[in-house]
Amino acid sequence: MKNNVDVVDIVNAIKQEIREENISIGSQYLATKYYKKRISVYREQKEIVIFGAGNYGVTLYRMLGKEEISQKVKCFCDNNKLLQNTECEGMPVFSAEEAYRKFPNAMFVITPRSYENEILKQLLQMGISIEKISIFIMALTGLEN
């Protein structure tokens, strides 16, 4: 029997239909209100520094890519000296101090799980205003799995 099904074509047609319907990323992935609110805040920023070059930082960067705002991300920063002056997702990784020197007007988005309070304190002590600091909790986005 002739095989008249090509699943790649079927899935591509589904993707095309979704593009044409212009469904938001939040709706496509059933993101929570928390996620949508965070993304709308990040969309308003000119520059973003992602604090944490680990799994959560990378995931956030990719999420921002899907939202078409990853160009706002100027760098990652991390307290782990082994990661400083390396690259993550093609972006430079600096210490927090270095990132702040280079991008003083950026919003710092804290991603590491468990250490957010310590990092918040660290950034405030560096002189970054609270309005320019955001804590991004992956578990509240509905997208972690």
Partner 1 sequence: MRREKVVFVICRYGIDVNGGAEDQCRALAERLLPYYEIEVLTSCSRGFPWDNYYEEGVSVVNGVQVRRFPVEGSRSYESLEQLNADRLAGKEGAEEAWVREFGPFCPKLIQYLDENRNQYKIVVPFTYVFYPTVASLRLGLKNTLFVPHAHDQAYIYRPIFKEVFQGAKTILFNTPEEQELVYRLFDVGKKPYEMTCMGMDMPEYDSWEMPEKFAHYNNYVVYVGRVGYTKTFAELNKYFIEYKKKNPSDLKLLVIGRINNQYTITFHDDIEYLGFVSAEEKYKLIRNAKFLIQPSRNESLSIVLLESMALGRPVLANARCEVLKGQCIRSNAGLYYRSYAEFEMAIDYLLNNPKEYQTMCDNGKRFVRENYNWDKVIKNVVSLIERTGEGDRKS
Asked if 86 interacts with partner 1 (CB under 8 A), we say no
Of 45 and 95, CB closest to partner 1: 95
Q: What is the largest CA-CA distance in the chain?
A: 71
CB of 91 to partner 1, least distance (A): 18
Asked if 85 interacts with partner 1 (CB under 8 A), we say no
Complete DSSP assignment for 61-100: HHHHHHTT-GGGEEEEE-S-TTTTTSEETTEEEE-HHHHH
Q: Give me the residues paired with residue 49 across strands.
A: 75, 108
Task: Kindly tell me which residue out of 22, 30, 90, 131 binds partner 1, with binding defined by CB under 8 A.
Answer: 30
**Rounded alpha-carbon distances, angstroms, from residue 21 to 17, 18, 28, 91, 122:** 6, 5, 11, 32, 44
Q: What is the total count of residues that contact partner 1 (CB under 8 A)?
A: 24
Of 5 and 130, CB closest to partner 1: 5
Residues that bind partner 1 (CB under 8 A): 1, 3-8, 10-11, 14-15, 17-18, 23, 27-30, 55, 80, 82, 114, 142, 145
